[in-house]
Structure 1
Amino acid sequence: MDSASDSPRIVVIGGGIVGLCVAWHLAKRGLRPLVLEAGKAGAASSGNAGAISHGSVAPLAMPGILKQVPGMMMDPAGALHIPMRYWLKAAPWLLRFVASARTPQVEAAATALASLFFGTLERHKEIVTAEGAPELIREAGQIYLYRDDAQMAKDKAGLDLRRRHGLRMEVLDRAALAALEPAVSPAYTRGVYLPDHGSSVNPARFAEVVARGVQRQGGEVRAAEVRAIRTDGRRVTGVETGAGVIPADQVVLAAGAWSARLLASLGVKVPLETQRGYHMMLPDAGVTPGRVLSPADRKVFISPMEDGLRVAGSVEIAGLDAPPNEARAQLLLGDLRAVFPDVRTDGATSWMGHRPCLPDSVPVLGPLRDWQGVWCAFGHGHLGLTGSAPTGALIASAMAGERPNFDFAPFRAERF
């Protein structure tokens, strides 16, 4: 083929960090992808906690979760919140979520996630190094914080699962914890240090760098809202946007929490729910931890960033269309003060984004079985940044016919 116009047209639906990483690897192979994003490219991923956690193979639904869900739902300040108006709509997803907490399903999910996350930090470094921005990745590990041994024991199942899949971790007593993070409240007397984990110091700039890399390598990033995937028979022919139809030979669906709506028109149903996450960004917190911290009793991540300190977390199941709940964001400041009592919160700003979550915590990846030319790359839940770079490499490699050494079967949409 002599020109770009003669080449098979690949359209990537979604310009979040997953879609951008897929496009980057496609562009690296000379495949000239077109990324379509309804908003600003990367904006959907700009507010994440920045954690790059290859060892986070334990799914959200672990054995015993059924006992915890009712209490969390009834506590308006709890880590999980579902507004009364949304309970009925969320119920089918919650039932699937609880069902996936059985031990065989948990083990299968962890094995699948471990295969996806293998070499994650190196995949991220590959992109930022190629784009001349290696400073975006911090390699200082992460620490889970615990108030005492009893609280740490509650996490034993998840920690053991991570160890079995090769995650290196060190248990810290108070003295060792204080040596690494002297500003942490003395109420936290134990820590689990994950020295091989990393983080992005600016997720928004990370996405911008990846988008520029797509364009540098011959791809395109364009603002457009995709309304439907066009097909002829069982073969994709293009995508329908507000500005008209764009022809395509192959489509990568990486639209995050909006992906299920586009799949539904093809008769493919996946139990995708949005877990709305929040962060508070503090420009002058007066404290700078050396790495990402996660207090186990608070279910949040505290991340040092280029432009301040970020505390991110909260799970709110309230759908795609409800406005942000500022009260949920403000609760994060209390979580932060529990770890750093003297933190300065003046000038703090809030953000809300949608995490595309599946009941078993395993994303949907790979080609659709019954539709030629449709590929999926969505549903990474709380690990979108972590999974973005390896997902991009694997999807692009498979689309290019390189036959990557990876089993897509546990990730198929048809498993539901």
Structure 2
Amino acid sequence: MESASNEPRIVVVGGGIVGLCVAWYLAQRGLRPLVLEARKPHAAYPGNAGAISHGSVAPLAMPGVLRQVPKMLTDPAGALHIPARYWLKAMPWLLRFVASARTAKVEAAADALASLLFGALERHKEILAAEGALDLIREEGQLYLYRDEAQMAKDAASLDLRRRHGLRMEVLDRAALAALEPEVSPAYTRAVLLPDHGSCVNPARLAEVVAHGVRRMGGEVREAEVRSIRMEGRRATGVRTDAGDVPADIVVLAAGAWSARLLAPLGVKVPLETQRGYHVTLPDAGVKAGRVLSPADRKVFITPMEDGLRVAGSVEFAGLDAPPNEARARLLLDDLRAVFPHVRTEGGTTWMGHRPCLPDSVPVLGPLKTWDGIWCAFGHGHLGLTGSAPTGAVMAAAIAGEKPNFDFAPFSAERFA
């Protein structure tokens, strides 16, 4: 990577959507970053549900989550499953997860997420307008589906938290729901419409568009697997890859679920766990959805995509190295049939990806305190697509010395020490 003498050499480790958005905003400032992408076969960015949800400030660990842990450990068909062979490895993370469900921690996490995700859709549109690809964004809102008032009441705490952070929502009865989504099963009699949320109709193409923009503005995207961060004293001087050493003045770690492995040799221990998510995309489903749908009893997202109807969800703890579990993917078809009883499920393609999840649902962002020249941008969990563009904006501004109006303290890697 060539670099003018007055600009830092910046290497972004990770070419998923978060790393690419950081690089895009750096390139916009003329800083010409180099993105190193290992082409991991199960990175999360191409296969997510496509939801862009700035109001999703409620962390996964809400009060009462402890009651759900036994089912996580024992029900192989549950929305969140941990196989027996992984119980011992997952337990430290689960203990932190349960501890994060205390009211004060939930409120703090929601405040942090709200500060990051505010304006997420506008940030995505800012990138895509510059790249001539606004067709990737659908602005039809999102719809949460409930079978009855009692089921909706179980979500009251989460909905209230979102409402208090400014999310606009409309409660619909069955008639109003049917007017928006006539093919949804009559078993769902209530819904909550989030009219300001949006979605991406092709997350894989989104990543390609952002990467093209990085190159267009003088940056580079190169395939290489980073093995370690190279240090001299307390300062990063580059990275070691499978293709040789790459010098850098600043290393931005945006390697998703693989990020903690690169920090561990530096003594920075982050409780990053992969929550393996699945999707099935049906090219000819025979039913139509006008927007992202999420049935509360199924914990999945159903999204109209360019290449068909996608149902995504399921959470599985099994580590970074275990092969995909096709049975988990097949469960998604039952979830889809519950919402669309007449859906055609033939000819679907399946996918599994690693979501980088932290116990408090708050990503790690900003510079390390104990090492110079290392910035972090990982751990967005289920909100990687949503958080990618706003993360890129605040990170690039801070790296460029612009002092953005953003507090990185709640996102510190050292908060877990």
TM-score (norm 2): 0.98
| 2:224 is the counterpart of 1:197 | no
Within 1, Cα distance between the matches of 2:330 and 2:4? 49
Correspondence for 1:103: 103
Correspondence for 1:355: 355
Correspondence for 2:150: 150
CA apart distance, 1:73: 2.5
Residue identity matched to 2:212:
R
Structure 1 residue matching 2:39: 3-state secondary structure: coil
Task: Decide whether the 8 Å contact of 1:143 with 1:291 is kept in 2.
Answer: yes
| 2:248 is the counterpart of 1:240 | no
Correspondence for 1:334: 334
Within 2, Cα distance between the matches of 1:5 and 1:289? 53
- Measured against aligned partners, the alpha-carbon deviations of 1:229-260 in whole angstroms (never above 9, x if no partner) come to 00101001010001111000000000000000
CA apart distance, 1:42: 10
CA apart distance, 1:4: 3.5
Structure 2 residue matching 1:265: 3-state secondary structure: helix
Correspondence for 1:381: 381
Within 2, Cα distance between the matches of 1:209 and 1:171? 36
Structure 2 residue matching 1:366: 3-state secondary structure: strand
Unmatched 5+ residue regions in structure 2?
Answer: none
- Measured against aligned partners, the alpha-carbon deviations of 1:37-76 in whole angstroms (never above 9, x if no partner) come to 1117996400000000000000000000001121233111
| 2:226 is the counterpart of 1:226 | yes
Task: Decide whether the 8 Å contact of 1:16 with 1:207 is kept in 2.
Answer: yes
| 2:116 is the counterpart of 1:116 | yes
Within 1, Cα distance between the matches of 2:207 and 2:224? 18
Within 1, Cα distance between the matches of 2:43 and 2:408? 28
Correspondence for 1:215: 215
Residues 44 and 68 of structure 1, relative CA distance in 2, 3 Å threshold = closer
| Identity in percent | 82
| 2:171 is the counterpart of 1:168 | no
Within 1, Cα distance between the matches of 2:289 and 2:217? 37
Correspondence for 1:29: 29
Aligned length: 415
Within 2, Cα distance between the matches of 1:169 and 1:42? 34
Unmatched 5+ residue regions in structure 1?
Answer: none
| 2:131 is the counterpart of 1:135 | no
Within 2, Cα distance between the matches of 1:40 and 1:272? 17
Correspondence for 2:313: 313
Correspondence for 1:343: 343
Residues 3 and 385 of structure 1, relative CA distance in 2, 3 Å threshold = closer
> Runs ≥4 in structure 1, deviation > 6 angstroms?
none
Task: Decide whether the 8 Å contact of 1:38 with 1:226 is kept in 2.
Answer: yes
Residues 237 and 3 of structure 1, relative CA distance in 2, 3 Å threshold = closer
Task: Decide whether the 8 Å contact of 1:41 with 1:207 is kept in 2.
Answer: no
Within 2, Cα distance between the matches of 1:42 and 1:282? 20
| 2:69 is the counterpart of 1:69 | yes
CA apart distance, 1:379: 0.2
Please tell me the root mean square deviation across aligned C-alpha atoms, in Å.
1.2
- Measured against aligned partners, the alpha-carbon deviations of 1:258-314 in whole angstroms (never above 9, x if no partner) come to 000000011100000000000000000011210000000000000000110000000
Task: Decide whether the 8 Å contact of 1:15 with 1:41 is kept in 2.
Answer: no
Correspondence for 1:271: 271
- Measured against aligned partners, the alpha-carbon deviations of 1:145-184 in whole angstroms (never above 9, x if no partner) come to 0000000000000000000000000000000000000000
Within 2, Cα distance between the matches of 1:141 and 1:414? 36
Task: Decide whether the 8 Å contact of 2:294 with 2:301 is kept in 1.
Answer: yes
| 2:159 is the counterpart of 1:159 | yes
Task: Decide whether the 8 Å contact of 2:172 with 2:190 is kept in 1.
Answer: yes
TM-score (norm 1): 0.98
Give matches, 1:393-408, under 5 Å: 393-408=393-408
- Measured against aligned partners, the alpha-carbon deviations of 1:381-416 in whole angstroms (never above 9, x if no partner) come to 000000000000000000000000000000000100
Task: Decide whether the 8 Å contact of 2:97 with 2:359 is kept in 1.
Answer: yes
CA apart distance, 1:112: 0.3
Task: Decide whether the 8 Å contact of 1:16 with 1:42 is kept in 2.
Answer: no
